[in-house]
Structure 1
């Protein structure tokens, strides 16, 4: 087996292993988002757009430093996109290359596209708009393996278990008869599958077409790899057979078989391994003839790419549905756009979120889902809580722990309970109790914060649910468990959400008079109105009095 494969394959499976670990309970012995932090496009691009240094994403600087010594080794050994493309190209090899077809001078028709894309992303970043998620190889691969292959793998595992289930009791594996995996559901999975398949099919044009021509992360690394210390050298033993040129996956070798475009070389050592004369070696600081220019880009094309990126950002920001944060005019925000607890204010959140899907994949209840255009074009594929599918588990804070750019703050469980994401509202026209006078206590019983109480109100012979907004955290369990078919009678909307870039959610909640615990809960047969809160008796029901109506040990606030 080639040297590159000896490192690339274990590292790829390590990437998949970390992705598997990105689930509840999250292991504390390793950072499961490590590979995302190593992507220089995610690191530099997010910091530039957010106008802030992000310590979690600073690992990529080590990769850039490594490129100064070893070239684009990240592309050849670490990147899961490169490993996936290599495997696909191995399954579907492009045949019929002549001696010089794959040479640097003849295979560079699309090579400058990746640099132009990088400049375009920088232009959009000047305006504060991030398009990194479209092109980051780590973001694309995390979404692909999380949204597409992961649920398919679990489904196939269930089918396999179903086939063998009758045999388990007879072979001493009776415990496996009860094993069944929960298969998560993901929005945008079809689009992600189509996008990655399109990238792989480009390999029919050129091997590693994405890496050669389209990857902006590769363009960043190319700028740091123009003169690496570890270089390819060719001795006088070379017979110009051309095997190295034909074998190079990046078309980094010139027509004379001696010069090398180091900015394109991924140090895979394939040329050295196929050379029949052993004329090719990789050495430190050896003097070799330069291939110039490696990056052939004139000023007009560069300026046009930057202007295009800036214009695209301006067009996005002038769209009616773009979320401008606190700026005027106020955006037409979707009433169903509920962000995860701990999400930064919307403008900062979109600037930092790289749409990797790590939080979506790891969500304990599967409530986090990527959106389409609910947050405007700039908010494409950002995560939201889909409360009708599932509620946000109050004992889980995984989404903030796995976010590689801190777009979601890593809150403790106590802090998270005060990170109000929205407020529940009852649609009385759909509620069984309000509309049909039928008993239903589900939302009352499921609410973890006692924000919903069932009360007798005039005109209704049975108790009906009423929401105390000061207690509602927006977790969405009431909406998820509502028995009404179709749209729930209880819906969570983003009104009253807390989005803090700094500071304590607990202190902010106290300042606003929010109470997210069961202490001091009023009894279910009382009415939440001003008279009760002031300790006065209402016209039909007496007020709850300290020490008489509550169980021993409980007091009202």
Structure 2
């Protein structure tokens, strides 16, 4: 009975975590307050650890320590009930089991230590050396976040606009309304779809294969679980080797022939404990290894030697792949700089740096800490935050950047810093955010329609919130933009409405590698108005 309660409790916790995390990413009406984001994501392991490295506060970012303590108590409970990607895999596995006619869906499989420890080593090196782009492809929370943002959120918006809003408006219910659908770039969407599809396929066929073969968080917590207080153990006198426990073990780690459970792969789902008809399996305090386990451990030096060879091979492949990607990016840049014949008289926008979100302090720091979970992309009300392709180079692939071809940064918004779970984007008060200079506007007179077509425009000046872009006399009664970079904050409100097509914008934002503080614009003296004399009626 106690194991049935444990299993049901674990299922309820997992569903609650999955629903809350999913809602954070698809909250199209912004119903969830920003101050609750940290509470919901506090126990996500990698974001919590990176957040701690960024702020050095256990109160703000100590969730990873609680996960370690929980693992030392009962094993990899995080993987089973807190990790959103793990819970998603369980959902896929449950559907696969419903559709399958097999009596025993799973069976024991040997572990893959070479792959497991290779990916763990890559993850550790990436964190130590600031390779945030590598972390973004291995962190399970970030993978789940991108799936929610780039795959599920557009579907929710489509359902809202095409089904929910028309139906409710027929009943004169206007609490829900049409939402603008901002689709991400095709490449990030396809990559996310491919990775999510591959993980889903693994879950359909082999349960937690991804978690126990590739996921570095699962491997690390598996090593910690070797020292956990409570472990699943066999009572050989009671066991009849019916195989029911092995048939429901989604980690494929129960070897009924040897009466053993691979603790490092067990995700503490309690399925085996609940289904065993003889109560031969129990969650008991850890005991000393028996002679058979000791003999297996004596063979580990040979395995380690083999692992090192495999690790070297994988490291070479990773290096070659990285060089190929960098070379490919250079070739792409050369092709991109070919100017069309019809636009030969226009000057191409030359940006020294992309524009990183406010609160990241510097591009280098941002690339080191950000895991590309895309929560800020999902939460951004204007949609200006988009996943980077080549903007940051290889080091910031899929990390968000300010894409002023999509939109602009709202002058009165600081939501990205409020929701960031890793501290890559630090929260800024509105007053501080409004003077944080992410970049500087650059005016290209030769591209401006006032110069080329001799016609009125002024869209950039109209939208500038700090009035860093001002219109000055030009000729024939025309006005032309002029930029005061000292009060410009690089919000993109000038670049976005510019009618000239990219990459020949008449005004664009050149990002700052290190964010600076802009000067406050002069407001001038307040003029008194004679209301009695000027009253219009």
Aligned to 1:157, which of 138, 157, 160? 160
Distance 1:266 1:70, change over 3 A: same
Q: Displacement of 1:67 after TM fit? A: 0.5
Distance 1:310 1:70, change over 3 A: farther
Contact 1:450–1:518, Cα closer than 8 Å, also in 2: no
Distance 1:346 1:95, change over 3 A: same
1:179 and 2:177 matched: yes
| Residue in structure 2 matched with residue 475 of structure 1 by the alignment | 491
| Residue in structure 1 matched with residue 137 of structure 2 by the alignment | 134
In the TM superposition, what are the counterparts of 1:32-431 in structure 2 within 5 Å? 32=38, 34-35=40-41, 37-44=42-49, 53=56, 55=58, 56-93=60-97, 102-103=107-108, 107-108=109-110, 110-130=112-132, 131-161=134-164, 163-164=166-167, 167-168=170-171, 173-175=172-174, 179-187=177-185, 188-235=188-235, 236-256=237-257, 258-285=259-286, 289=290, 291=293, 293=296, 297-302=303-308, 305=311, 309=315, 312=318, 334-335=351-352, 337-431=354-448
Q: Displacement of 1:110 after TM fit? A: 3.2
| Residue in structure 2 matched with residue 530 of structure 1 by the alignment | none
Q: Displacement of 1:199 after TM fit? A: 1.1
Contact 1:72–1:266, Cα closer than 8 Å, also in 2: yes
Q: Displacement of 1:158 after TM fit? A: 1.2
Q: Distance in 2 between matches of 1:134 and 1:482?
A: 35
Q: Deviations over 1:159-191 (max 9, x none)?
A: 1135426732xxxx2536x82123232232232
Q: Displacement of 1:16 after TM fit? A: 2.0
Q: Displacement of 1:116 after TM fit? A: 1.6
Contact 2:50–2:369, Cα closer than 8 Å, also in 1: no
Distance 1:206 1:364, change over 3 A: same
Contact 2:114–2:310, Cα closer than 8 Å, also in 1: no
Distance 1:186 1:109, change over 3 A: same
Q: Displacement of 1:398 after TM fit? A: 1.4
Q: Distance in 2 between matches of 1:101 and 1:196?
A: 22
Q: Deviations over 1:383-411 (max 9, x none)?
A: 11111221101111111222222222221
Q: Displacement of 1:10 after TM fit? A: 2.0
Contact 2:168–2:174, Cα closer than 8 Å, also in 1: no
1:12 and 2:29 matched: no
Distance 1:349 1:221, change over 3 A: same
| Residue in structure 2 matched with residue 499 of structure 1 by the alignment | 514
Q: How many residues align?
A: 492
Q: Distance in 2 between matches of 1:217 and 1:209?
A: 13
Contact 1:336–1:492, Cα closer than 8 Å, also in 2: no
Q: Displacement of 1:245 after TM fit? A: 1.3
Task: Return structure 1 stretches of 4+ with deviation > 6 angstroms.
Answer: 45-48, 96-101
For structure 1, list consecutive stretches of 5 or more residues without a partner in the other structure. Answer: 323-332, 521-546
Contact 1:42–1:132, Cα closer than 8 Å, also in 2: no
Contact 2:35–2:418, Cα closer than 8 Å, also in 1: no
TM-score (norm 1): 0.78
Q: Distance in 1 between matches of 2:245 and 2:456?
A: 78
Distance 1:383 1:365, change over 3 A: same
Q: Distance in 1 between matches of 2:126 and 2:140?
A: 19
Paired residue secondary structure (1:134): helix
Q: Distance in 1 between matches of 2:210 and 2:386?
A: 27
Q: Displacement of 1:498 after TM fit? A: 6.7
Distance 1:291 1:57, change over 3 A: farther
CA RMSD in angstroms comes to 3.5
Q: Distance in 2 between matches of 1:482 and 1:284?
A: 68
Q: Displacement of 1:369 after TM fit? A: 0.6
Aligned to 1:463, which of 466, 475, 479? 479
Contact 1:124–1:309, Cα closer than 8 Å, also in 2: no
Distance 1:194 1:439, change over 3 A: same
Q: Distance in 2 between matches of 1:195 and 1:444?
A: 43
Distance 1:308 1:42, change over 3 A: farther
Q: Deviations over 1:317-341 (max 9, x none)?
A: 995879xxxxxxxxxx954711112
Q: Distance in 2 between matches of 1:23 and 1:338?
A: 27
Paired residue secondary structure (2:436): coil
Distance 1:97 1:175, change over 3 A: closer
TM-score (norm 2): 0.81
Q: Distance in 1 between matches of 2:208 and 2:81?
A: 14
Distance 1:373 1:483, change over 3 A: closer
Q: Distance in 2 between matches of 1:242 and 1:24?
A: 49
Q: Deviations over 1:228-270 (max 9, x none)?
A: 2112233322211111112111122123363221111111111
Paired residue secondary structure (1:338): coil
Q: Distance in 1 between matches of 2:77 and 2:240?
A: 28
Q: Distance in 1 between matches of 2:83 and 2:241?
A: 32
Contact 1:120–1:310, Cα closer than 8 Å, also in 2: no
Q: Deviations over 1:370-393 (max 9, x none)?
A: 111222212111111111221101
Q: Distance in 1 between matches of 2:240 and 2:477?
A: 97
